[in-house]
Copies of this chain bind each other. A is one copy, B any other.
Amino acid sequence: MTKQRITISDVAKKAGVSPTAVSFAFNKPEQLGKETLERIFEAARELGYAANPYARALHSGSIGSLGVLVPQSISSIFSNPFFAAFLQGMGVMCDEKGIGLLTLAVQDNNLEAAIAKAPVDGFVLVGLNEDHEEVAPLIKRNIPTVIVDGDGSQFSTVNVDDEGGAYQAAKYLLDQGHRDIRILTFETPYNHLEYVYFGVGGRRLRGYQRAFQEAGLDWNDEYLVPTIASIEGGQDSFMQLMAQKRQPSAVLAVSDAMAIGVVLAAKQANLRIPQDLAVIGFDDIPLAELMSPALSTVNQPVTEKGRLAADLLISALEEGQHKAQHFMLPTTLILRDTTR
């Protein structure tokens, strides 16, 4: 195991002072004589002393890092460009304040355990509502928390106008005359139709639906294609679509990764885009702009969401009790090469 750590009293001994003096030297140096100070720092440096963060935290209640909790595995978080951008935004604030960012695994749906043992001063929750039962301990124990892409009242929330963005996307296709539109939705663990209207996926769906209704079209849940949120998932769904009797003239996807998969698969099938198939994604990840044809999509300010969430959390931490604030950031339809 780790070699015996240098403690404050080792330094005290070496410098010929009391442990208190050493503590003061680091925390309230003005309380000490210049001479003593020198001697203490000298000893500390020679010994390679550094305060034990846990002892310090035990006392102060603060450890200097923020937790990011997403109901997904760590590895899937990092393979997702959305989170890359989001974490980048949080990182801007963390860099500024010199604090760390802890990404947490959620073992078998056990958020509560993860929360309890995490060495953090507060949490950013992504995609979880305040009323989720696993979130209760955070409220009960009054741990500073910010909710992103979810609802809450006690905690501050940061959301974007998912519904409005989706509405614009669907309306655009509808206005162009498309009538055979299929919608790629987030895959859900169990009964698809029962879960698909929850969360950000649900909000986006309701936006599409509103546009359909305004255009006087029947909404049919059979338009929905549950799709794994990845490029491969989009490719698979495209295959499925092509195998059907009636083929769509346009596809709406609740995430860019899916949309990109569709575009890739369509290109391979020698469909012309956007003439034979129009596609609009959601999120506006960097790849959307760089691929060719460049993907039309709904932009949401992901990095800004991360920055804002971290900012709110840090303010709450610094100012103690803080009034919850609720933000709704705008989304924008970005027309590129996968639509006419």
A residues at B contact (CB < 8 Å): 1-3, 5-6, 48, 50-55, 57-58, 61, 63-65, 67, 73-79, 81, 84-85, 87-92, 94-95, 98-105, 107, 112, 114-119, 137, 140-144, 231, 260, 264, 287, 290-292, 320-321
24 contacts between A and B (CB under 8 A): A2-B143, A2-B144, A3-B141, A5-B141, A6-B141, A48-B140, A50-B112, A50-B117, A51-B116, A53-B119, A58-B58, A74-B87, A74-B94, A74-B95, A75-B88, A75-B92, A78-B84, A81-B84, A91-B105, A98-B107, A102-B102, A102-B103, A231-B290, A260-B290
A133 to chain B, nearest CB (A): 13
Residues of B within 8 A of A52 (CB): 58
> Taking CB as reference atom, which chain B residue is nearest A60?
B54
Decide yes or no: A48 and B141 within 8 Å by CB, A1-B320, A57-B119, A75-B92 being known contacts.
Answer: yes
A118 touching B100 by the CB < 8 A rule?
yes
Question: A139: nearest residue on chain B (CB-CB)?
Answer: B48
Please, how many angstroms separate the alpha-carbon atoms of A290 and B50 in the complex? 47
The answer to whether A119 and B65 have CB atoms under 8 Å apart is yes
Residues of B within 8 A of A99 (CB): 105
For residue A104, which residues in chain B have a CB less than 8 angstroms away from its CB? 100-101
CB distance from A30 to the nearest CB of B (A): 20
Q: Is A91 in contact with B74, judged by CB distance below 8 angstroms? A: yes
Docked-complex contact A78 and B91, CB < 8 angstroms: yes
Q: How far is the CB of A224 from chain B (nearest CB, A)?
A: 26
Cα of A87 to Cα of B78 in the assembled complex, Å: 6
Query: Which residues of B are found within 8 Å of A101, using beta-carbon distances?
Result: 74, 102-104
CB distance from A97 to the nearest CB of B (A): 8
* Chain B nearest Cβ from A112, distance in angstroms: 8
Nearest residue (CB) in B for A69 is B100
Leading 7 A-B pairs by shortest Cβ distance:
A74-B91, A75-B91, A50-B116, A119-B119, A3-B142, A78-B88, A54-B57
Name the one of B63, B95, B144 contacting A105, with C-beta atoms under 8 angstroms. Answer: B95
Q: Which residues of B contact A95 (CB under 8 A)?
A: 73-75, 105
A98 close to B105 (CB less than 8 A): yes
Minimum CB–CB distance for A23 against chain B, Å: 15
CB–CB B54/A119 < 8 A: yes
From A80, which residue of chain B is reached at the shortest CB distance?
Answer: B84
| Contact A54 B51, CB 8 Å, known A6-B141, A105-B95 | no
Count chain B CB atoms within 10 A of each CB in A54, A61, A84, A103 and give the residue with the most. Answer: A54
Query: With a CB–CB cut-off of 8 A, which chain B residues contact A231?
Result: 290
Q: How far is the CA of A89 from the CA of B103 in the complex (A)?
A: 14
* Bound-complex Cα distance A19 to B105 (A): 30
With A74-B95, A75-B88 known as contacts, the answer to whether A2 contacts B117 (CB < 8 A) is no
